[in-house]
Structure 1
Amino acid sequence: MSPDRSDLRLPHAGARGFLNLRLANTWQGGALIACTSVLAAMGLRLALEPVAKFYYLPMVPAVMITALLAPRSSVFLSIILAIVGIELTVRRGGVVDTAANAGLFALVALAVAEACSRLRASRDAAETLARNLAHRKTLLTTILGSMSVVTLDDDGRIRRITRSAAALLGLELRQAVGRRFDDLAPGFDATPADGSARGEEASRLWLIARAGQEPVRLTIDAHRLADDAAPERIVLTLTDQSQAEATRRQERELNDRLSSVWRLNSMGEMAATLAHELNQPLSAAAVYLHAGRTDLARIGPAAEPTVNTLDLAKAQLLRAGDIIRRMREMISNGSRAFTEERAAQMIRDLEPVIALIGQDTGVAIRIETDGADDHVLADRIQLQQALANLIRNGVDAVIDREEGRVTVIGRSLGSEGYELAVRDNGPGIPDDLMDRIFDPMNSTKTGGMGLGLSVTRSIVESHGSALVVSRPQGGGACFTFRLSRPTESDIP
């Protein structure tokens, strides 16, 4: 049934719509319709009086019109008015004849009224169904217009295709219709087996060759239509995986770079610790060697070879100390290349990683940055590593909460620099750990090495700032630091 067929409406549909608004649902309106219909029928009967003797027959249309346009109570009123009108204008032979004719008319009129009422209900149901179908058709058309959908016949030829699907396949609509789909995806077979679509086809990635364009990688889901839907028998839903693949590739590259930086930072922390711990035993060994040389020198020329050997050992110990100190100075001061960067852009470059973290954990991660005045002096990779560490720590803190969220905030402070903050609504940091959270090897997570916040603080401090932790009013934890503005001497 088509929703826009005019035969769904009776001839009086326009009047019906008007009366629905003004009269039909009120007893006053129904009474007016009944009186008007009966008066019109009486006028018709009187007009036909010279031709033939009509009594109750002209009253039947009055009852029908009332049943079609007014409530059921108005039908009884029209029947009563018709009987009264006939009896006042027609002289009968007796009471029995009058009662018999009136009763027969009442029965016939009630039967006709019931049929008209059901016709009216069927018409209203048909109009409602037509409107619903029209709305659903509009909704379905809108949805399909934004999706990549292709329908095939039993031979695998394209019968219908949406514009987005044609653009995805690199074809014009006229070129696509009638073309075999396996010409575009060699080896693809969407023919359903055993009455259902082949699941192995729907779950695979297909490389689609496009004339004059780069091939596109698609996920194709195949579904079979009912047997009476010929000639369209199979529906294909196409999903472009190119953007997802590019995002995953970018995420892998960024993760590799961040992992490399993480390892370097971890090695730097370890080197700094070793430099501090080894400095004392090396110094003590040098002192002991000097004391031994002094004792041997008192023996005389006989101990000279041993003294020379001790001098060589002492020189090597001092050289080892110098090497450790130089490595420590390089890690602390000279291993980072600071350039002029845009803080908001650095955070946006992390969005693929942030999105995957949120997707894997189910935690909402929001980014609120002010990009109007965000020029800073920073090491991009080091700073991104610091932000990634803080975001992961925030996600770990709220991962078990129903409405857990992590917010990355960036705002300009004018000449004072640009402030970055990572805030979560987790349980917060206990008081007994507030002073030790940045210490290496100090972790509240099972299996954690306790290097994340320590490395992050080292990165922030290497930028001439301080990593500050606080408790927001709404609960949770907030890590904040500032980046300085670049000066003319800092720009190469």
Structure 2
Amino acid sequence: MIGLAAMARDVRQGPRTDARARPTWVRRICVAGLAIAAAVALRTVLETFGDFYYLPMIPAVMATALLADRQAVALAILLSTGFNLVVVHRLNVVDAAVNAALFAVVAWGIAEVCQRLIEALARAQDLARNLTVRQALLDAILGSTPVVTVDRAGTVRRITPAAAGLLGEDPDAVTGRPFADWVAAFDLETLSALEGGGRLGTPPDGHWTAVKANGDVVPMTLQAALLPDQAAPEHIVVSLADQGESEAARKRARDLQTQLEQVWRLNSLGQMAATLAHELNQPLTAAAVYLHAGHADVVRSGPLGDSAGRNLDLAKTQILRAGEIIRRMRDLIATGSRSFSREHVQSMIDDLSPVFSLISRDSDVPIRCEIDADDLVVADRVQVQQALTNLVRNAVDAVGGQSGGAVAVTGRSFGVEGYELTVEDNGPGIPEAERAHVFQPMATTKSGGMGLGLSVTRAIVESHGGQLIVGRSAQGGAAFSFRLPRTLEAAAA
């Protein structure tokens, strides 16, 4: 019947390019004429068995109604009536008129039924087509939406491919299993709360999490609603949303905020350092002058003042060194300039011997220095000494309070490739996962530390064209090493 409706609609509407086109009179005449001609032929055949008047014309009217419109039906009725009036002999005019009118009424009624049937079938076909399109659209929407339906026991009854993808599973592997296998907090207690009219809140730990097939834990947002009883056995529909990217974005935002705060603090420290470099230079110079005068007075006192004179001389040397560090830092902040010269590593270490002795005495940690020959390098003497002092202090702090703690400063020549200095200890060492963060400004584990020592040390090493490397020493603790260049070209690089 649907095929017949389609054929009738095609005949009525003509080409598909114009669905609203109606049959022309030529087509109406052709349809009605052919139908009546076929009926006349049928009547002629049936006349051999008896008298048939209007009955064979009924199928012709029905065929016209199915294949054309009401105008063609009216034309078919007129042709049928005219043919019968000409061919069939009636007793009188009244008899002929009554039979013709009766045929017209019956034929029109049957044709109207056929017309309504075809229209109903056409509407049903259009409705079926619309339902198919809407079903396809709904399937496409649901296919791209992570949705799960569960029964009263919490078992997955239906799952969309998108939801299965979030769980890292095949849809067939999820169906029939408890939803709590992936979202542990979605248990029977949660189902009971939903059935009681409650809302799907958040678990006690603050957020929903799903364990994927590969073991990854993914933060989720869940929305749930009860289904009508007619949908049984499906009882609750749950929509899922992956919050992994959102959490990662929030973490990046927090990290960026932390970095911005560090930059602000570093800028503040830079301004403070410039001020201190300017203000402390004069009192340090004055202190060095007073120490020099005091040393001269002690020397004049004779042999009894030799020990005090040596201590005053060492104090003056360190004050002058502090002033030189401040002057270099001020120049570096103001102009970014550096002062490279040819230096012997052993000579730089010898200058630091009093400092290392004080550090070793105060911490009760021995500091051993082993410097290979061929130690001529190109360096900023004061800055390299500052870097070595920072590394030695950190190493001593790492083994502080430890029985048998020791720190070693070693120097090894690598020919034209440079000269390597290493500061190592036998402390607990630095975990590999934390090594990338130890050079960040403000990163410190000391209660009174500022987290700038390693950051400044790395900046000094990089200004010499080298790289400060952290690893594990042969003694089991941490080892920091860097290379100094042999030539000015290498230092500038």
Question: Which shifted more, 50-59 or 118-127?
Answer: 50-59
Q: Contact between 2:182 and 2:210, CA under 8 Å: does it hold in 1?
A: yes
- 1:65 aligns to what SS in structure 2? helix
The residue number in structure 1 matching 2:182 is 184
Q: Superposed, which structure 2 residues align to 1:119-134 within 5 Å?
A: 119-134=117-132
TM superposition shift of 1:282: 11
Encode CA deviations 1:421-475: one digit per residue, 9 max, x unaligned. xxxxxxxxxxxxxxxxxxxxxxxxxxxxxxxxxxxxxxxxxxxxxxxxxxxxxxx
The residue number in structure 2 matching 1:235 is 237
Q: Contact between 1:216 and 1:242, CA under 8 Å: does it hold in 2?
A: yes
TM superposition shift of 1:63: 1.9
Is 1:333 equivalent to 2:336 in the alignment?
Answer: yes
Q: Superposed, which structure 2 residues align to 1:33-432 within 5 Å?
A: 33-188=31-186, 189-190=190-191, 193=194, 198-200=199-201, 205-265=207-267, 326-327=329-330, 329-330=332-333, 333=336
Q: Contact between 1:156 and 1:191, CA under 8 Å: does it hold in 2?
A: no
TM superposition shift of 1:99: 1.0
What code does the residue aligned with 1:103 have?
A
- 1:216 aligns to what SS in structure 2? strand
Is 1:25 equivalent to 2:22 in the alignment?
Answer: yes
Flag the 1:325–1:17 CA change in 2: closer, same or farther, 3 A.
Answer: same
TM superposition shift of 1:17: 3.7
| Distance across 1 between alignment mates of 2:210 and 2:151 | 20
TM superposition shift of 1:176: 1.3
Encode CA deviations 1:123-169: one digit per residue, 9 max, x unaligned. 11111111111112222222222222212223321111122322322
TM superposition shift of 1:194: 6.4
The residue number in structure 2 matching 1:408 is none
| Distance across 1 between alignment mates of 2:232 and 2:201 | 24
The residue number in structure 2 matching 1:299 is none
Aligned residue pairs, count: 306
CA RMSD of superposed structures (Å): 4.4
Q: Contact between 2:61 and 2:77, CA under 8 Å: does it hold in 1?
A: yes
Q: Contact between 1:196 and 1:223, CA under 8 Å: does it hold in 2?
A: no
Encode CA deviations 1:33-89: one digit per residue, 9 max, x unaligned. 222222222222222111132222222222222222222222211211121122222
The residue number in structure 1 matching 2:451 is none
Normalization by structure 2: what TM-score? 0.52
TM superposition shift of 1:263: 4.5
Q: Contact between 1:148 and 1:163, CA under 8 Å: does it hold in 2?
A: yes
Encode CA deviations 1:168-210: one digit per residue, 9 max, x unaligned. 2233333211112123222313467468673436997421223
TM superposition shift of 1:325: 9.3
Structure with bigger gyration radius: 2
Normalization by structure 1: what TM-score? 0.52
Q: Contact between 1:197 and 1:222, CA under 8 Å: does it hold in 2?
A: no
Question: Which shifted more, 222-231 or 119-128?
Answer: 222-231
| Distance across 2 between alignment mates of 1:220 and 1:158 | 15
What code does the residue aligned with 1:153 have?
D
- 1:200 aligns to what SS in structure 2? coil
- 1:248 aligns to what SS in structure 2? helix
TM superposition shift of 1:98: 1.1
| Distance across 1 between alignment mates of 2:228 and 2:198 | 12
The residue number in structure 2 matching 1:374 is none
Percent of pairs with identical residues: 40
Q: Which runs of 5+ in 1 are unaligned?
A: 1-6, 290-315, 336-487
- 2:64 aligns to what SS in structure 1? helix
What code does the residue aligned with 1:106 have?
A
Q: Which runs of 5+ in 2 are unaligned?
A: 287-318, 339-488
What code does the residue aligned with 1:137 have?
Q
| Distance across 1 between alignment mates of 2:203 and 2:66 | 54
Question: Which shifted more, 169-178 or 94-103?
Answer: 169-178
What code does the residue aligned with 2:22 have?
N
| Distance across 1 between alignment mates of 2:36 and 2:268 | 99
| Distance across 2 between alignment mates of 1:323 and 1:100 | 130
What code does the residue aligned with 1:200 have?
G
- 2:95 aligns to what SS in structure 1? helix
Q: Contact between 1:202 and 1:222, CA under 8 Å: does it hold in 2?
A: no
